[in-house]
Amino acid sequence: MELKFEFPVRKMTYKKTNEKELKLFIFDPIIKEANMPAVIFLHGGGFSKSEWTYTQFQYHAHYFSTMGMVAICVEYRTAYDESFTPIHSIQDAKSAIRWARQNCVDLQIDPNKISVCGGSSGGYMALCCAMIDEFNDQGDDISIDGRPNALVLYNPGVDFAPLTRVYPQLKEIAKAISPLYQIKEELPPSIFLHGTEDKNININQIEHFCNLMEESGNQADLIAFEGMGHGFFNYEAQNHSLFTLTNEYIEKFYKQLNYID
């Protein structure tokens, strides 16, 4: 059953797998111009049978569409799909970025201003897209760049090791698909928003990761939210107050990159 959005969206198919057609849900700015920046949203919970779906970031997508960005929520393969592993999610995220670049003229977006925003497993996927050249879908045109130009990351995972308990078949390539071990120079600028009381992904690991990123010459801004746990950024949390606050930090980040005025 297809889920409903609270806002008008354009639905497009970006990819067909053996199981289903995967959709993108596009939030257009009211005033459309040529070469607009874009933000692609990857929801959390994809590596487990979570309640979160591609509608998780719909309020964020609507908000940033009012800032003049084309915002896109992505449906990707999750643990609910047959024979799933997180490799499928990473492949789908790369496919979505490539689709946006390939269709940049129709979407009226700047192919060099495509940011990816992800929460938890979605943040992990976003980092993998930026950092790991391998693990592409066989149907993708890999001549089209599958890397984002900027990253917005809510309590992302950075190490696959804890997930090998659930996906033991990936144990041998755990480091190859762990952003923690794939840090290099010239990665996209990134902002991390993380709760100090996150029990799923300890903020100390994220602090260490950001330090390693900066040592390699990358921008990796960490904003710590005191006393907050995993998923603090969701629209429904704290009477929307943290939704507003996190958006303020992200706006500053986008303004710094000249994505928005």
What is the per-residue pLDDT across 79-138, written as a single tens digit (0 to 9) for each? Answer: 999 899 999 999 999 999 999 999 999 999 999 999 999 999 999 999 999 999 999 999
* CATH fold for the domain made of 10-256: Rossmann fold (3.40.50)
Write down the number of H helices and E strands in the chain.
6, 8
Q: Which residue has the tokens 């084309």?
A: 70
What is the per-residue pLDDT across 155-208, written as a single tens digit (0 to 9) for each? Answer: 999 999 999 999 999 999 999 999 999 999 999 999 999 999 999 999 999 999
DSSP 123-163: HHHHHHHHH------TTS-TTS----SEEEEES----SGGG
Considering the chain, what percentage of its residues have pLDDT values greater than 70?
A: 100
pTM of the model as a whole: 0.97
Domain residue limits, the chain: 10-256
What is the per-residue pLDDT across 54-81, written as a single tens digit (0 to 9) for each? Answer: 999 999 999 999 999 999 999 999 999 9
Q: How far apart are CA 33 and CA 109, in angstroms?
A: 8
Q: Which residue has the tokens 């009381």?
A: 197
222 membership: H or E segment, kind and range: strand 220-225
Q: How far apart are CA 235 and CA 245, in angstroms?
A: 11
Q: How far apart are CA 66 and CA 104, in angstroms?
A: 19
Q: How many residues does the chain have?
A: 261
Residues in contact with 70: Cβ distance below 8 Å, sequence separation at least 6, in sequence order = 26, 27, 28, 29, 36, 37, 38, 39, 107, 108, 109
Q: Phi, psi (5° rounding) for residue 227?
A: 80, 0
